[in-house]
């Protein structure tokens, strides 16, 4: 098998963008999807449609999995585990670090090599410069396929533990989803006062563009476990969060998000952090809520 052959299993928006990018870069591409019709355009563009999962696995040594999650991966591959031996599976579907470690063990038991990936691009970004994917798993497996993987996005190898790429990906998504919700809640608050999203854009962008400097200042202190209240105090934060909550309540918008935020601040105060920095809340967040 040539280095320029690849199988893509899973043809949602992401898998289709990946297969199409490989085709555009001259790879021999084999595709399989549960809903076979999603391969039609790729087949017209030159991809080979595998009739079965087994055919898809045997067509190329490098197999990209672009499925919703690991449940989908097992559902697809369980029917052809005998064809896994000697393959390299690169799982670019989202799931937890623990699940990635389990999947790597499962693949190894079937004689396959396994890399976890966490793609930091949406489908239109695949094959375009400026995007990157976290990878983890055996270094030699990554090295052997780095060139092909870089046909999709830049490759950021994080280490041997197959859970690491999933961890970096989920850390990013944790930040992304909470930020998106914070922004939407702020827009709902503005909307209740007749202020449209467009008018809020400059001030909202300004708050977020200050975050890298804020984080850079506090990162070293957080790693050192130090939260002096020399610049900000949790007690001040509690009052501020309460103002946000009351503003939301007065406006008649959903208060569940600021209520959850206030509860975390309350737990920080109860744990004795009132005179520490708001960043001391990480000590609250490191443990499950009682």
Binding site for ligand NDP (CB under 6 A): 10-15, 33-35, 38, 66-69, 72, 75-76, 92-94, 119, 122-123
Minimum separation from the CB atom of position 151 to ligand NDP (A): 17
Nearest Cα to Cα of residue 105 among 154, 138, 149: 138
Least distance between ligand NDP and beta carbon 31 (Å): 10
* Rounded least distance, CB 249 to ligand NDP, Å: 35
> At a CB cut-off of 8 Å and minimum separation 6, what does 177 contact?
none
Q: How far is the CB of 109 from ligand NDP (least distance, A)?
A: 21
Reference 253, options 261, 244, 266, 241; nearest CA is: 244
Which of 153, 280 has the CB closer to ligand NDP? 153
Rounded CA-CA distance 180/283 in Å is 24
Please list the residues that pair with 135 across neighbouring strands. Answer: 117, 157
CB of 75 to ligand NDP, least distance (A): 4
Cβ-closest position to ligand NDP: 12
Closer by beta carbon to ligand NDP, 172 or else 228: 172
Provide the minimum distance between the beta carbon of 244 and ligand NDP in the complex, in angstroms, as a whole number. 30
- Nearer of residues 69 and 232 to ligand NDP, judged by Cβ: 69
For residue 59, the number of C-alpha atoms closer than 13 Å in the C-beta half-sphere is 24
Residue 276: which of 217, 213, 229, 235 has the closest Cα?
229
CB of 33 or CB of 60, closer to ligand NDP = 33
Nearer to ligand NDP, 76 or 151 (CB): 76
CB of 34 to ligand NDP, least distance (A): 3
**Strands 113-120 vs 88-91: parallel, antiparallel or unpaired:** parallel
| Residue 282 backbone zone (phi > 0: left; psi -120 to 50: alpha; other: beta) | alpha
In the complex with ligand NDP, the residue whose CB is nearer, 53 or 186, is 53
Q: Nearer to ligand NDP by C-beta: 152 or 284?
A: 152
The first and second tokens of residue 12, run together, are: 């949602």
**Residue 89 to residues 47, 60, 73, 277: CA-CA distances in angstroms?**
19, 10, 11, 45
Cβ nearer to ligand NDP, comparing 14 with 47? 14
Q: Are strands 62-65 and 5-9 parallel, antiparallel or unpaired?
A: parallel
Q: What is the Cα–Cα distance from 76 to 276, expressed in whole angstroms?
A: 51
- At closest approach, how far in Å is the CB of 236 from ligand NDP? 37
């Amino acid at each position: 098998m040539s280095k320029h052959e690849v199988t893509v299993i899973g043809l949602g928006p992401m898998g289709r963008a990946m297969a199409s990018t490989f085709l555009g870069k001259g790879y021999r591409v084999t595709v399989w999807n549960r809903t076979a019709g999603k391969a039609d355009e790729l087949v017209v563009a030159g991809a080979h449609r595998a009739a079965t999962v087994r055919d898809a696995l045997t067509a190329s040594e490098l197999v990209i999995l672009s499925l919703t999650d690991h449940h989908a991966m097992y559902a697809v591959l369980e029917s052809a585990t005998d064809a896994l031996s000697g393959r390299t599976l690169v799982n670019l579907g989202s799931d937890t670090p623990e699940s990635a470690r389990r999947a790597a063990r499962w693949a190894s038991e079937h004689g396959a090599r396994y890399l976890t990936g966490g793609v930091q691009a949406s489908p239109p970004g695949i094959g375009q410069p400026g995007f990157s994917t976290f990878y983890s798993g055996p270094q030699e497996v990554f090295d052997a396929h780095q060139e092909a993987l870089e046909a999709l996005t830049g490759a950021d190898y994080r280490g041997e533990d197959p859970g690491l790429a999933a961890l970096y990906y989920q850390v990013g998504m944790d930040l992304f989803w909470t930020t998106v919700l914070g922004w939407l809640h702020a827009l709902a608050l503005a909307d209740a006062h007749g202020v449209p999203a467009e008018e809020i854009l400059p001030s909202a962008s300004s708050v977020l563009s200050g975050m890298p400097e804020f984080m850079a200042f506090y990162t070293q202190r957080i790693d050192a476990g130090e939260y002096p209240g020399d610049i900000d105090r949790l007690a001040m934060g509690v009052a501020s969060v309460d103002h946000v909550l009351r503003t939301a309540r007065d406006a008649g918008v959903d208060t569940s998000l600021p209520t959850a935020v206030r509860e975390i601040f309350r737990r920080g105060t109860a744990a004795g952090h009132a005179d520490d920095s708001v960043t001391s809340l990480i000590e609250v967040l490191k443990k499950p809520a009682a």
